[in-house]
Amino acid sequence: MHCGLCLPTCPTYDATKLERHSPRGRIALMRAIADDRLDTTRTFAEEMYFCLGCLACTTACPAGVNYAELFEHARAEVEARRLLDSPLRRLIRGVTVKWLFMDLSRLLLLGRVMRLYQQLGLQTLLRRSGVLNLLPRRLRELEAMTPDIPPAFSADLIAPVTPAVGQRKYRVAMLTGCAQDLIFSEVNRDTVEVLAHNGCEVFTPRHQHCCGSLHAHNGELGLAAELARRNIDQFPPEQFDAIISNAGGCGSHLKHYGKLLANDPHYARRAALWDRKLKDVHEWLAEIGVKPPAPDHQPPLTVTYHESCHLSHGQKVIEQPRQLLRLIPNLTLVELPEATWCCGSAGIYNLTQPEMANRLLERKIRNIQSTGATVVANANSGCLLQLINGIRQAGLNIRVAHPMTLLAEAYRRAASQ
């Protein structure tokens, strides 16, 4: 494809106006390497990791080019050839991608240590001491992005089986995720409550696995496939009406286990069924019909909605979150300018490409401020954290919340009358 309709939708091309920073340019590089007209070099590797992977280009593409698959395989080639290899990078990837996120009990243990560090006031003491000023600027920026760890994780908040409120109509499984559980466990609780209010019995096992999106997006397709098998074994798709994800980035990857395991004789059939059963929570609720919260005790709210890139561009779930928000009595939904423009989170992009991520975040915060909303809703854990940090840095009094949290709160207010 050479039409260039994707160029105006690409945040990195918009910022630099360089062809190599566009989807068309990156695909041309991939094609040249595939045709042996260009060697795989460090410059190519850096370009593949400069891409946000936001998939806005896939929405714009009239030919339906599967950029997501090209992008993941290109990064896998980069890692196989060790084009960005260094001792520090090997250490970081080994500890995070290959160890920490392969067993979430390790991640939650780290979370408990961070929670204790924050609850004892050590983080506040360190920040006030001035010691951080002695660190390099990038380390100070990373420390400022440290999330607040909630007092309880999903397993402490959600029973293994939550019965439906009233008549049971569906049996669903709930995926609690990695960052979602570590930072936004209350969103998982709220999601289960909303599902139960709408006739779903919810199966939420205590010890779950990473979905594998972090691994797939960072060139570790083998590890991503291993995690896919673990999830299919833990949540047999034939036993549920739906398997629920409430994080846009995770859900986009989870819906492609069929392709990831297409050549696995033991899992290919079940993975294809998994893909059909995997539903974003907004998509599922819109499909089965939602019971509106009662209007009593509902305060007026002005809300704007920032779309997770992988929810809108990856899963094509666009109108359903808005439909659910409009069900909340006294809630006014104000459309956000450039709602589908990436906020700069993009998985771990804000950690690896901070300059570009910050430019995108500042643009997003300006658009949010222009709406006059007191709440910005979003349905992806990485975006939620990015927006929280951006709004805090801007000194704005705007709440950031998942649509499921807003809906669950409305149900609770109605029940308290």
Q: Are residues 258 and 331 in the same domain?
A: no
Q: Are residues 217 and 276 in the same domain?
A: yes
Q: Are residues 159 and 240 in the same domain?
A: yes
> How confident is the model at residue 17, as a pLDDT?
94
Residue 111 within a domain: no
Task: Classify the C-alpha dihedral 368-54-388-127 as positive or negative.
Answer: negative
Alpha-carbon distance 30 to 410, whole Å? 49
**Domain of residue 28, residue span:** 7-80
Q: Are residues 316 and 266 in the same domain?
A: no
Task: Tell me the two tokens of residue 173.
Answer: 């499984």
Q: Are residues 160 and 283 in the same domain?
A: yes
Residue 161 within a domain: yes
> How confident is the model at residue 171, as a pLDDT?
98
DSSP 12-41: HHHHH--GGGSHHHHHHHHHHHHTTSS---
The single-letter DSSP state of residue 312 is I
Residue 37 within a domain: yes
Asked if residues 51 and 26 have their Cβ atoms less than 8 Å apart, the reply is: yes
SS3 53: coil
Choose among 398, 381, 387, 393: nearest CA to 183: 381
Which residues have C-beta within 8 Å of that of residue 226, sequence separation ≥ 6? 102, 212
Written as tens digits, the pLDDT of the chain (417 aa) is: 678 899 999 999 999 999 999 999 999 999 999 999 988 899 999 999 999 999 999 999 999 899 989 989 999 999 999 999 999 999 999 999 999 999 999 999 999 999 999 999 998 998 888 888 887 887 887 788 889 999 999 999 999 999 999 999 999 999 999 989 999 999 999 999 999 999 999 999 999 999 999 999 888 999 999 999 999 999 999 999 999 999 999 999 999 999 999 999 999 999 999 999 999 999 999 999 999 999 988 999 999 999 999 999 999 999 999 999 999 999 999 999 999 999 999 888 988 898 999 999 999 999 999 999 999 999 999 999 999 999 999 999 999 999 999 999 999 998 886
Helix-helix angle 185-197:403-415, to 10 degrees: 60
> How confident is the model at residue 132, as a pLDDT?
82
Which residues have C-beta within 8 Å of that of residue 109, sequence separation ≥ 6? none
Q: Are residues 74 and 194 in the same domain?
A: no
The model's pLDDT over 37-60, given as tens digits with 9 standing for 90+, comes to 988 899 999 999 999 999 999 999
Q: Are residues 305 and 409 in the same domain?
A: yes
288, 315, 346 - which closes a domain: 288
Q: Are residues 237 and 305 in the same domain?
A: no
> How confident is the model at residue 1, as a pLDDT?
63
Residue 131 within a domain: no
Residue 326 within a domain: yes
61, 80, 99 - which closes a domain: 80
Q: Are residues 273 and 350 in the same domain?
A: no
Q: Are residues 331 and 352 in the same domain?
A: yes
Residue 253 within a domain: yes
The domain spanning residue 277 has which CATH number?
A: 3.40.50
How deeply is 213 buried, as exposed, middle or buried, from its count of CB atoms within 10 A (0-12, 13-18, 19+)? buried
Choose among 259, 346, 339, 250: nearest CA to 73: 259
The domain spanning residue 328 has which CATH number?
A: 3.40.50.1860
Residue 135 within a domain: no
Indicate the number of domains in the chain.
Answer: 3
Report the DSSP pairing between strands 200-203 and 161-162.
antiparallel
The single-letter DSSP state of residue 314 is I
> How confident is the model at residue 140, as a pLDDT?
82
Question: Which residue(s) pair with 301 in the sheet?
Answer: 331
Q: Are residues 252 and 282 in the same domain?
A: yes
Q: Are residues 275 and 312 in the same domain?
A: no
Residue 126 within a domain: no
Q: With residue 278 as reference, give the H or E element that holds it.
A: strand 278-280
Report the DSSP pairing between strands 242-245 and 278-280.
parallel
37, 52, 80 - which closes a domain: 80
Alpha-carbon distance 131 to 109, whole Å? 26
